[in-house]
Chain A
Amino acid sequence: MPLADINWFYYAAPQRFHPLAGRLAPWFMAAAALLALAGLYIGFFVAPTDATQGEVYRVIFIHVPAAWMSMVVYLAMAFWAAVGLIFNARLASMLALALAPTGALMTFVALWTGALWGKPTWGAWWVWDARLTSELILLFLYIGYMSLHAAIEDTRRADRAAAVLAIVGAVNVPIIYFSVQWWNTLHQGASVSLTRAPSMATTMLTGMLLMALAAWAYCIAVALMRVRVLIVERERHAAWAQEALATP
């Protein structure tokens, strides 16, 4: 089929996206479960003990994917919020709102597991390292986005105002990423890089990448489920939404 014949906006209608999201979500959830099982098995039973950090390092199988997702989800949220603001696309705004709680959860998990790792390794639950601090600010940005959206009664205005905030906050995400280079502090440098060979055993890397894929699949699945709820909530007066609710 030639590209020109594809209707790129076919699924931009909430009415059409609702069943599509319903069909896709279970697949992503199943993929997340399988990948997480494989990743955790490799992480906890196959990967060798780290020479310097001992068994404690195994928290990275949760920590690193959560930290990655906390930033990726924010960028995705800001992207869809911008699309919703610029093209006045309702579904994009709903998708942005659906991503926010998942992103906040991932940020919280990254901070929590980081604290669990920091206590035995650095001897403190929390240090005011640049990367930790930026991650904490990212959590505040998620909370600000959700609070602003919740505080404005009119949904369309809430969507658009929160979108402006998400775009402004997106400036913060690169600062997190480059803070390791900008401020030379306690946090260890990035272990995985695209430009040089990874500084970890292959099995460790495999486990971490499997867990990262699991985190991707989980975030997509949960966002799709939440966007279905948002669609039905906002379109509850439409006949098709009543039907969709009546036939689960």
Chain B
Amino acid sequence: MSGGIGPALAAVVQRDLRVALRRRADTFAALFFFVIVASLFPIGVGPEPALLARMGAGVVWVAALLASMLSLARLFNDDFHDGTLEQLLLSSVPLPLAVLAKTAAHWLSSGALLALVSPLLALQYGLSGDATLALLAGLLLGTPLLSLVGAIGAALTVGVRGGGVLLSLLVLPLYVPVLIFGAGAVDAVQAGLAVGGHYSLLGAMLAAGLFLAPWAAAVALRIAVE
């Protein structure tokens, strides 16, 4: 590759984003899934404002977990089937970095959008301004982690039959710490407690995830493709 690693990685991000834009229906389906799941809960549990304000953050977070998983199955599978993945493995770009680039594109086309829509859902649940801000901040810190951990699961299930359901079985338990601290941040704000610790823990997990997850996903991809 003539341009070196940086331009190659930028090309990977650009390509995945372009694919996400061209398949607008898929990208927005996940977004609408997020909104629909969050809207079903008040219908299921009743419209009392106090109850909804209490559970709003948790519901939005769980919906975000599920929605960010919808598009994970495609993260490597399409590339695996059309041979792009093999080219990526053979190229001179270090595979963990390429995985990181693909994960970044996945986050931009799923997690970031979910976070941006979340204030709308916070309105539906009657969250206060501070709580909405904590929800948005938590999602912005937490959803990249969902994409990173999800990339490991996606890499493990590349080309496996029944991969979609299996993927959720593998990945959802690993999402639990993110859920605890993400939803916990909003709870802390609502209870008038200090929220900094939650952000710090999410940020620490994100830092660790940025370093470790692409590496683990790269190992898993090599196992899958060899």
List the B side residues contacting A151 at CB < 8 Å.
Answer: 157, 160-163, 166
Q: From DSSP, what is the main secondary structure of chain B's interface residues?
A: helix
Q: In whole angstroms, what is the CA distance A148 to B174 when docked?
A: 15
| Max chain A C-beta neighbours (<10 A), residue from B166, B174, B220 | B174
Contact of A165 among B156, B163, B224 (CB under 8 A): B156
List the B side residues contacting A140 at CB < 8 Å.
Answer: 169, 172-173
* Contact across chains for B166 and A148 when beta carbons are under 8 A apart: yes
B212: min CB distance to chain A, Å: 9
Contact of B220 among A164, A169, A175 (CB under 8 A): A164
* Contact across chains for A165 and B170 when beta carbons are under 8 A apart: yes
Q: In whole angstroms, what is the CA distance A133 to B173 when docked?
A: 10
* Contact across chains for A164 and B224 when beta carbons are under 8 A apart: no
Contact of A141 among B162, B173, B177 (CB under 8 A): B173
* Contact across chains for A164 and B173 when beta carbons are under 8 A apart: no
With A140-B169, A151-B162, A164-B219 already in contact, the answer to whether A169 and B156 are too (CB < 8 A) is: no
In the complex, which residues 139-191 of chain A have their Cβ closer than 8 Å to any Cβ of chain B? Answer: 140-141, 143-144, 147-148, 151-152, 157, 160-161, 164-165, 167-169, 172, 175
Task: With CB as the reference atom, state the residue of chain A lying closest to B184.
Answer: A183
- CB of A137 within 8 A of chain B? yes
Q: In whole angstroms, what is the CA distance A165 to B152 when docked?
A: 8
Contact residues on B (Cβ < 8 Å of other chain), bracket: 20 to 34
- CB of B216 within 8 A of chain A? yes
Q: What are the interface flags for B162-188 relative to A under an 8 Å C-beta threshold, 1 for contact and 0 otherwise?
A: 110010011011101100000000000
A92: min CB distance to chain B, Å: 16
* Contact across chains for B173 and A157 when beta carbons are under 8 A apart: no
Q: What are the interface flags for A46-67 relative to B under an 8 Å C-beta threshold, 1 for contact and 0 otherwise?
A: 0000000000000000000000
- CB of B223 within 8 A of chain A? yes
Q: In whole angstroms, what is the CA distance A157 to B173 when docked?
A: 23
In the complex, which residues 200-233 of chain A have their Cβ closer than 8 Å to any Cβ of chain B? Answer: none
List the B side residues contacting A157 at CB < 8 Å.
Answer: 223-224, 226
List the B side residues contacting A143 at CB < 8 Å.
Answer: 169
Binding site for A on B (CB under 8 A): 152, 156-157, 160-163, 166, 169-170, 172-174, 176-177, 216, 219-220, 223-224, 226
12 A-B residue pairings within 8 Å (CB atoms): A137-B173, A137-B176, A140-B172, A141-B173, A144-B170, A148-B156, A148-B160, A160-B223, A161-B220, A165-B170, A169-B173, A172-B173
Binding site for B on A (CB under 8 A): 133, 137, 140-141, 143-144, 147-148, 151-152, 157, 160-161, 164-165, 167-169, 172, 175
